[in-house]
Each structure stands twice: as C-alpha cells, then as structure tokens.
Amino acid sequence: MSTNTKYNEWQENELSTSLNRFPERKEEFTLHGDAEVPRLALPENIDDDYLEHIGFPGQYPYTRGVQPTMYRARFWTMRQYAGFSTASESNKRYRYLLAQGTTGLSVAFDLPTQIGYDSDDPMSLGEVGKVGVAIDTLADMEALFADIPLDKISTSMTINSPAIVLLAMYIVVAEKQGIPADKLRGTIQNDVLKEYVARGTYIFPPKPSLGLITDIFQWCSANMPLFNTISISGYHIREAGSTAAQEVAFTLANGITYVQTAIEAGLEIDHFAKRLAFFFNASSNLLEEVAKFRAARRLWARIMKNRFEAKKTASMMMRFHAQTAGSSLAAKQIDNNIVRVTIQALAAVLGGTQSLHTNSRDEALSLPTEDSVRTALRTQQIIAHESGVADTVDPFAGSYYIEQLTDSIELAAEELIAKIEHSGGVVACIEDGFIKRQIEQAAYEYQKEIESGERVIVGVNGFQIEEEVKPDLLRVNPAVEEAQVSSLKNVRQQRDEAEVQSRLAALQVAAESGSNLMEPIIDAVRVYASLGEICSVLRGIFGEYRD
C-alpha cells in the first residue's frame, strides 16, 4: 500500500470517527455542509519508513497524539487544581470554578492529609488547611463535594501514600448521592515511587506501598472501569530540578515498576493498563516540552507493546494530564507569571495533553485568589477558542527540529531507563539514592546557570525593577485549624465508637493476612473512622519509611 493511500485512509477514519462521536458538530468536520473534508497531499520527501517512525495521530506509536482528531473533536479537560482551608471553603471554590467553565475538578490536600495524620495530631500543628484542604473523615469529604453531582464531573485527587483511604471516602460520598462506583470518572494520583525521590510525602516503605497500589488496581478493575487508578507523575520530578529527559525516564521507569508489580499480582495487562494515566510538567522551553510529550508517548507505547506484550491499543496509549511549572513562578513582578503560564500551557496543548491545569500568577507568594484563578482558567480558554492551535493535530509534526528533539529525548530517556534496570530497578535505585542524586545534580547545574547570569529569569536576575505596590494575597486564617480540630472532635463524639473499633480491627486482620484492603477501608470509612486512625493501623503493620 502506498504512503499516500495510507494517508487517505487515515483521513477517512479521522472524519468518520469525528462524525460518529460528535454528530451535532458535523459542520466543523466538513468543508461546506455535506462536502467532503479536503485532502492534503503528503510531501514528496516523506516515505514509508518515516511515516512508520512518527505515525498518524491516534495510531501506534502515538507520537502524534492518542486520538485521530485530537482537539478538533473535543478540547482537553480544563481541570483547575484547588483546595485550601476547610472542606466547605474549598467547596465554594469548586462551585465557582465550575460556574466559570472548568470541566474537571482537581483536589489539593493539606500536608497532614497527604502524610496520613488527622488535624488534631501533634504532627499537624501549624499545617492544617495551609497548602490544601484538610480531610479527616467522611464528613469532610461530604462537605467538599456538597451540591456537586459526582456522576457529571471528573475529579482528580493529588494524593499518594494514603490514596486508598481518600478514594474510599470518594466512593462512599458518591454512594450517598446514589451514584454507583462504576459511574465515577476521574483520576487518583496514587504514585508513591516519585515521593521517595522528589516530593517526600511518603508514609510506608516501598514494598507495602506498591501492595496498596495493586489493591486499588484490582478493586477498580472490577468496580470502577471509568476511573484512572494511577497518575504516574513526572511533574514533581521536574519540579525537583530534573531535565526533560530525566522527567520522561524516571516517570516511565516508575510506570514499568507499577505494571510489573500488577502482573506479578496476577492482573492481566490488557485488563488494567487502559486505566493508567500520566502527569507531566509543562515548563517554559516551548519546543523542548512539545518534543518531550511526543517522545514520552512513543516510548511508552513501545514499552507496553514490546516488553509487556499488550495487545489492545488502549493499553499502549499514554494519556496524560499536564500542569504548568510551579517552580518557574517568580515572587517578583508576578504579572510576568501570566506570560510564563501561557507559554507553558501552549506547550502542553501543542504536545497533545488530555487535561491541563494552569497555575495562577500569585502562587509564588500564596494560595491563589479567585481573580488569579479566573485568569489562569481564561488562559486555557483563550488558547482553545482564539489561538487556532486546536484546529489541527500535532501542528509541529515533520519539523526537522521537533522530530530531531523528539528522537533525542526518547534516546536519552531509554538510556537512563536501561541504567536503572541494570542497577536492579526503581526500588533499588531509590534505596541507594541513584535517582535522587541525578535530579539533585541537574537542579544544581540549573541554579548555577541562574546565579552566573548564563540563564536569565526575567524580573529575578535580569530586567529588575523596584516594586512598591504589594498584590492582594489569599491568606488562610489561623482559626481554620482550631475549627477543623473542633469539627473532628464532634464527629468522634457522634459516631458509633464500638463500630469504628470493630472495623479498624477487621482492617488490621486483613492487612496482616495480605488480603486486598480496599473493602475493609471502605467499611471503616463508612462508619467515620478517620484518615489518621486507618493509617495508624497500617503504620503498625507496614512500618514507616525513613530516607
């Protein structure tokens, strides 16, 4: 079959796919009413080998995107990350975002929640509600999603070590709304491996942590077919200072570990792989970021097909969420951050993201204000509706520089993955510090460039001004902690304590026996056992990780 014939067949498939999925938008996929979509002739210098290398959008190896029509058929999910103070305050922000056109929610949890402590624990002092919302019991999760129909929106939760507990709470809240688990859509981050090298919100050692992740895979495969059970995260690896190639390598190496662990636990690759998702950083070097996303997609497709022998196309597709680079935001001349975020968001869209969060201008100083959040969301909407970049699929395909850079990042990532595997795998490289040292060295080199002036950060080490006007910032009232602790006390007084202790005892027995812990944790959550109480049971059995 000639290259041009292949191309024409792909275009026919693209049109029929679009019309089948979105019949009401027929006009957008045709030239004039019922007229045929105009065909594009392939450039003469593109041969079969080259076409095989970059592929078509929506076809293996997915270099050019996981859908044949990409944003011509449907925009990415505009998912703004939010959470602060109490559940009721965060609920107000969520409903504001939905009213402004957000199409998915993304929950930020406070630090005690992320590491499995209740708000009244001495370890939580001074941190309650500060960098996200405090969630102690099912009562908080009920308040967080009050008046938000969970079957109508997609929810992402950035939670890792205690992910199984927060997911259980979400399931029970939906249950109380009359929504079965099989109707829920969204993603739980659930990626603990990157915590050991880049972020630090771990609780248990790697092996039992991987066991909890596998429990989620198994339970959700049977009960939550629309929910993404993990978001394998390069975002925090990049925020810690890695290069683009390191972000791809370490993220995919973690992905390999999760897949291998699930297979060893008896799961079929094509049964769970389609619910794996990824989470990447969108940084400021626009062309490098576009190439990075393309390289990551192609490399993962090959890993799934060649290494794990996946048969279903959905198992080979890398679907990912992107967030603009928080570490790039400057505390000086904060309006410059709007420009940075715009460039980064554009890179994510040009690279084919499935959903996107745009950071707010004031996040280098505080949690964002409503005005700042609205501007961040409008940035996505302007890119979608006004820039024209969504009118075609993979606009940079065939560019000499982009294709060379895509190949270069893929090769560098492959070499790093091979080095990790030669050294005994990800867990061994966490324990001996190899991955962490690689990231720290890259961060050190980057900072040296800034301090020497070789790398200019506008408004920070170049083009500086004297600033007198201080921006309005969102500040979390210190009384929030006292109110949250009081709320938790009330829940404990009103619940059936004997039933709570019975469910916690059952959880302990299940954990000691190596059973799947999803159902015992759901049972404990239903009777308002707290996050800290559940994690305390697991700490007693699994122990705690110490770097």
What integer pLDDT is reported at residue 471 of this predicted model? 81
Going by the DSSP 8-state scheme, the letter that residue 360 receives in this structure is -
One-letter amino acid at 263 equals I
> Do 276 and 314 fall into the same domain?
yes
> Would you state the pLDDT for residue 35?
38
Same domain, 100 and 20: no
Q: How many residues are listed for the chain in this entry?
A: 547
- The pLDDT of residue 445: 98
Task: Give yes or no: residues 75 and 42 share one domain.
Answer: no
Looking at residue 28, what is its pLDDT?
Answer: 42
Compute the distance between CA of residue 440 and CA of residue 433 in angstroms, rounded to an integer: 10
CA-to-CA dists, residue 521 to 46, 503, 544, angstroms: 55, 8, 19
Evaluate whether residue 461 is within a structural domain.
Answer: no
Grouping H, G, I as helix, E, B as strand and the rest as coil, residue 239 is helix
Verify that 35 and 159 share a domain, yes or no. Answer: no
What is the DSSP code string of 329-349? --SSSTTHHHHHHHHHHHHHH
The pair of structure tokens assigned to 190 is 């659930």
Of 130, 161, 269, residue with least CA distance to 534: 161
Domain boundary among 435, 452, 469: 452
Q: Is 470 helix (H, G, I), strand (E, B) or coil?
A: coil
Residue 226 Cα distances to 50, 180, 277, 434, angstroms: 35, 12, 12, 36
The pLDDT value recorded for residue 476 is 81
Q: Is there a domain that residue 506 lies in?
A: no
Asked whether residue 509 is assigned to any structural domain, the reply reads: no
> What's the CA angle centered on 37, arms 35 and 40, to 5 degrees?
140
C-alpha distances in Å from residue 86, one per residue of 166, 385, 461, 485? 16, 34, 38, 11
83: alpha, beta or left, given left = phi > 0 and alpha = psi -120 to 50?
left
Token pair 């070097």 is found at: 285
- DSSP reduced 3-state for 276: strand
d(CA 307, CA 252): 13
Last residue of a domain, one of 431, 452, 473: 452
Residue 472: what pLDDT? Answer: 84
Helix (H) or strand (E) holding 322: strand 320-324
pLDDT at 8: 57
Residue 339 domain-assigned? yes
Boundary (domain end) residue, out of 407, 430, 452: 452
* pTM beyond 0.75, yes or no: yes
Residues 237 and 384 in one domain: yes
Is 230 strand, coil or helix? strand
**Sheet order of strands, 355-357 included:** 227-228, 185-188, 154-158, 104-108, 77-82, 355-357, 320-324, 276-282, 230-233
Residue 61: inside a domain, yes or no? no
Q: Give domain status of residue 518, yes or no.
A: no
CATH of the domain at 135: 3.20.20.240
Task: Find how far residue 320's CA is from the centre of its chain.
Answer: 7
- The reported pLDDT for the residue numbered 29 is 41
Which amino acid, residue 213?
I
For 241-244, the CB contacts below 8 A with 24+ separation are 241/327, 241/439, 241/440, 241/442, 241/443, 241/444, 241/446, 241/447, 242/198, 242/438, 242/439, 242/442, 242/443, 243/442, 244/283, 244/285, 244/288, 244/289, 244/291, 244/292, 244/409
Residue 193 covered by a domain: yes
Shared domain check, 347 and 282? yes
| Same domain membership, residue 325 and residue 224 | yes
In-domain check, residue 291: yes
Task: Clarify whether residues 344 and 262 are in a common domain.
Answer: yes
Residues 300 and 344 occupy one common structural domain: yes
Q: Are residues 408 and 368 in the same domain?
A: yes
The distance of Cα 198 from the centroid of its chain, to the nearest Å, equals 15
How many domains is the chain partitioned into structurally? 2
Q: Report, as ranges of residue numbers, the positions in the chain whose pLDDT lies below 50.
A: 18-19, 21-22, 25-43
Answer yes or no: do 8 and 93 share one domain. Answer: no
Q: Which two tokens stand for residue 415?
A: 């070499």
Structural domain of 224:
70-452
108-150 pLDDT, tens digit per residue, is 999 999 999 999 999 999 999 998 999 999 999 999 999 999 9
Name the amino acid, one letter, at 52: E
Question: Do 332 and 392 fall within a single domain?
Answer: yes
